[in-house]
Amino acid sequence: MKKIYNVAIVGLGQIGSYLYKEILTKRKEIQKKTGKIINIVAISAKNKNKKRKFKINKNIFFSDPLKLISEKKIDIIFECIGLSDGISKKVVEKAIANRIHVITPNKALIAKHGEHLSNMALKKKVNLEFEASVGGGIPILRTIKEGLATNKINKIYGILNGTCNYILTEMEKTGDSFKSVLKKAQDHGYAEPGNPKLDLNGYDTLAKVKILSALAFNKKISTSNCLMEGIENIESKDFDMADQLNLRIKLLGITEIVNNRLFERVHPCLVKKNTYIANVSGVMNAVILEGMPVGETVLQGEGAGPGPTSSALMSDFLSILRGNIKFPFGLPNNARESARIYDDKNYENSLYLRFEVNDKPGVLSQITKHLAKYKISIQRLIQIPDNTKKKASIIIITHSVKENNSNKCLRSINSIKNIIKKPVLIRLFNGNIY
Amino acid sequence: MKKIYNVAIVGLGQIGSYLYKEILTKRKEIQKKTGKIINIVAISAKNKNKKRKFKINKNIFFSDPLKLISEKKIDIIFECIGLSDGISKKVVEKAIANRIHVITPNKALIAKHGEHLSNMALKKKVNLEFEASVGGGIPILRTIKEGLATNKINKIYGILNGTCNYILTEMEKTGDSFKSVLKKAQDHGYAEPGNPKLDLNGYDTLAKVKILSALAFNKKISTSNCLMEGIENIESKDFDMADQLNLRIKLLGITEIVNNRLFERVHPCLVKKNTYIANVSGVMNAVILEGMPVGETVLQGEGAGPGPTSSALMSDFLSILRGNIKFPFGLPNNARESARIYDDKNYENSLYLRFEVNDKPGVLSQITKHLAKYKISIQRLIQIPDNTKKKASIIIITHSVKENNSNKCLRSINSIKNIIKKPVLIRLFNGNIY
């Protein structure tokens, strides 16, 4: 077996440069644990001279990551650019084609091209490792692939986006608006300064859900559309109401097998305050996994930031150095079938609905008439007038209702002229929790 | 590499027989995941004809597990007898000597003979795997060795004994006595019917703590005595008081490095009700791990019972089948030093003390005089009279005090003649939590 491993890091943002420092610091420990000598022989980023937290060796700098692969003898490459396509994909493809092991925290890339890239990796007999793509420092993928290897997993759900969880936690705590808390998250470095949309609209969580499903249920990564809602429309009013109802708002990613069909979804949920998941705060991530025979397993840890992400990247690194050649998705790709997809029109939940209306006679009766038409029954109704503005908020908690009915109902309610804003809908977790 | 693996299971109690069924059921899945064909070629237990939940193949039954090793060609053996010495040790030694991989859930054996056995295994180039020895279904050892491979871990603590946690949870919930709840635990199969002492006195938790320390801090398993207290002396009165103080009683195992010294201990703790650890109920286990750069990681799952234990045994099994030869403790044994041990006389906590006294004048003043003598200051004192019996309970919450002082003080308090019972002492978690 090889004794010396040449390593390249492509992308030197927060994660790449932290990792670079971490590998240099831990070289001796790695040698002790694996018997392997590590050399970082090449690094690459957009800007050679950008100010970074950690000093880089400019003698091994390449502006073009593809050139780096042609020119250097490399055994393991870290792809830390983070795009779902473009240069990220090209780097990984070229690396695998050149029989280089690949490690990446790039969930967007794996969720979109994981099948194609893992096929390549299996053909070329190299590792494609992506522990850092889900749950930051939580070794959740390894736990599914190895720690719970022969369990039959039925369901996984959790808080998978630290940015959203931070924003929801802060909004609840401070009463501040979404916009101002988002600004604070960006100042803290928890949210992308430029375009945080992929965090906030649920896409980031969904990419992680898709990777989890593939591993947990031994299926191909699903390419189907599915229910995806973010947190952008939640207002401080909703936190006040949740509080009164002894509930808390969390953005959950959920995947499970229902009647042999895969049901993946991402949306804000109202969870009971005394549940475990309600008490996962700030940038923390948590994953809850239901399996047989293991029962319920919970993993919680810091979900974002260069420290936890590096921890996961390093675990993949040591796994390769120890010679553990593995199937990227735990099974040969031809043993992984495409999943049949659950029709989310049948998804059933109690709903929290908030309507903002002009305080005119008859509005409430119009709303309840529409609800009745779609057989949506009400378990609680709260009207909060804003007398100065002659407006009111109407909050309705429904009994359990199918997605199909609530969708149609809300579309028809849109026609009521005294409703002044798109209604807010938040699902109550676990169907009906009253 | 080998294609067919011959397997033996020694010990067919709850765990062994569940595992036996699990391997038979999952043969095809294992072949798909690892490419290996599995044959169970031998089983052994004390009693061939005992009634078991799962039918065994009596044609491959051996009464003598040592004979089984001599007579059969075996690649992997499961030791599920569970003794710290005796036949368990002999089976594992003989298996390793014969170049057979060993998998065991036996924490007592590993905590006591882990160094010796892992030395043997490394010499013979076979695996010695014991994931199931700590945390039942929670893949905590794998997480430390692999998932968090290059983290610097500072502290691990948690609830590591499902039996004790079940008893404490039930005592709190029902107000029943220790004895009657223990009986219930035995009826449910949560506690050993014969001799549950090793669970209840903290020894089982301590064995797990010792294994965790060795892995987390890269040290040899410590053979030093350390602070170990069980739950046998806790009474329903203590739960009432804890409840009034917004606290809950948990048996914790704790290990950390303090001033470069290893500090392991097991004892009941009073934890704040709103903390995570306070809300781990019933037979659940939980491990909290503080590492750099990963931050705080939490793992929770079912800690006992044949299902979760089998899940962990199977993960070790697949790891071997995938060809992952590993250091049992994550490092070559000669790279693991002996730990210097922290002197627990310096351990500092707020204490909950409960004295049962005859309700005579002067008793309280005598107690407080002794406390003052050892510089133990009181932050709260509650006296609950039992007028019918002319007795009283005196509960004192102290400010932070060193173990050395509290030990001496309690010894001297023993001489007060109107104290009618050994005082109960429970430490408040995290030093002083008020």
Please tell me the distance from the alpha carbon of residue B409 to that of residue A326, in angstroms, as a whole number.
59
Q: Between chains, do B311 and A291 touch, taking CB under 8 Å as contact? A: yes
Please tell me the distance from the alpha carbon of residue B171 to that of residue B238, in angstroms, as a whole number.
10
A365-400, pLDDT tens digit by residue? 999 999 999 999 999 999 998 888 899 999 999 999
User: Which fold is adopted by the domain B148-302+338-342?
Assistant: Dihydrodipicolinate Reductase; domain 2 (3.30.360)
Give residue A52's pLDDT: 85
Q: Between chains, do A142 and B146 touch, taking CB under 8 Å as contact? A: yes
Q: How far is CA A190 from CA A52, A137, A185, A239, A303, in A?
A: 18, 15, 5, 21, 10
Give residue B434's pLDDT: 46
Domain ranges of chain B: 4-129, 148-302+338-342, 345-428
Please tell me the distance from the alpha carbon of residue B105 to that of residue B304, in angstroms, as a whole number.
11
Q: How far is CA B92 from CA B9, B64, B183, B324, in A?
A: 12, 14, 34, 20
Confidence bin at A227 (pLDDT 50/70/90): very high
Give residue A191's pLDDT: 74
Evaluate whether B148-302+338-342 and B345-428 have a shared fold: no
Instruction: Give pLDDT < 50 ranges for chain B.
Output: 433-434
What is the residue type of B144? I
Give residue A194's pLDDT: 67
Phi and psi torsions of B251, nearest 5°: -90, 115
Q: Which of B30, B293, B302 sits opposite A295 (nearest CB)?
A: B302
The length of chain B is 434
When the candidates are 3.30.360.10, 3.30.230.70, 3.30.1740.10, 1.10.620.20, the CATH number that belongs to A140-301+337-342 is: 3.30.360.10
Q: Say which CATH superfamily domain B4-129 falls into.
A: NAD(P)-binding Rossmann-like Domain (3.40.50.720)
Give residue B193's pLDDT: 66
Please tell me the distance from the alpha carbon of residue B313 to that of residue B329, in angstroms, as a whole number.
17
Can you count the helices (H) and strands (E) in chain B? Answer: 14, 17
Are B119 and B144 within 8 A, CB to CB? no
Mutate which of A140, A146, A151, A296 to test chain B, going by most B C-beta atoms within 10 A?
A146
What is the residue type of A378? I
Chain B, nearest residue to A19 by Cα: B293
* Nearest by Cα to B83 from B49, B111, B63, B64: B111
Confidence bin at A304 (pLDDT 50/70/90): confident
Given B145, B208, B210, B219, the catalytic residue: B208
Q: Between chains, do A302 and B295 touch, taking CB under 8 Å as contact? A: yes
Residues 6+ apart with CB under 8 A from B404: B345, B346
Q: At what angle do helices B236-244 and B162-174 cross, to 10 degrees?
A: 70
Nearest-Cα distance to chain B for A38, in Å, is: 14
Q: Which of B18, B300, B318 sits opposite A149 (nearest CB)?
A: B318
Average pLDDT, chain A: 93
Helix residue ranges per DSSP H, B192-269: 197-200, 203-217, 236-244
Phi and psi torsions of B349, nearest 5°: -150, 155
Q: Between chains, do A131 and B143 touch, taking CB under 8 Å as contact? A: no
Q: Between chains, do A332 and B32 touch, taking CB under 8 Å as contact? A: yes
Please tell me which residue, A63 or B433, carries the higher pLDDT value: A63
Please tell me the distance from the alpha carbon of residue B320 to that of residue B103, in angstroms, as a whole number.
9
Q: Does pLDDT of A189 surpass 80?
A: no
Q: Does pLDDT of A434 surpass 70?
A: no
Nearest-Cα distance to chain A for B432, in Å, is: 23
Please tell me the distance from the alpha carbon of residue A134 to that of residue A116, in angstroms, as a whole number.
19
Please tell me the distance from the alpha carbon of residue B253 to that of residue B269, in angstroms, as a whole number.
10
* Nearest by Cα to B96 from B112, B77, B81: B77
Chain A stretch 261-280, residues whose beta carbon is closer than 8 A to a beta carbon of chain B: 276, 279
Given A36, A89, A112, A208, the catalytic residue: A208
Chain A stretch 61-120, residues whose beta carbon is closer than 8 A to a beta carbon of chain B: none
Q: Which of B307, B324, B332 sits opposite A294 (nearest CB)?
A: B307
Please tell me the distance from the alpha carbon of residue B163 to that of residue B182, in angstroms, as a whole number.
9
Percent of chain A with pLDDT over 70: 98
Query: DSSP state, B329?
Result: T
ipTM metric: 0.84
Chain B, nearest residue to A304 by Cα: B294
Catalytic residue flag (residue A208): yes
A244-271, pLDDT tens digit by residue? 999 999 999 999 999 999 999 999 999 9
Please tell me the distance from the alpha carbon of residue B286 to that of residue B277, in angstroms, as a whole number.
8
Query: DSSP state, B278?
Result: G
Mutate which of A127, A274, A299 to test chain B, going by most B C-beta atoms within 10 A?
A299
Interchain contact A299–B (C-beta under 8 A): yes
When the candidates are 3.40.470.10, 3.40.50.300, 3.30.70.260, 3.30.750.200, the CATH number that belongs to A345-428 is: 3.30.70.260
Chain A, nearest residue to B323 by Cα: A324
Helix residue ranges per DSSP H, B84-158: 86-97, 107-124, 140-142
Q: Which residues in chain B have Cβ-Cβ distances shorter than 8 Å to A296? A: 301-302
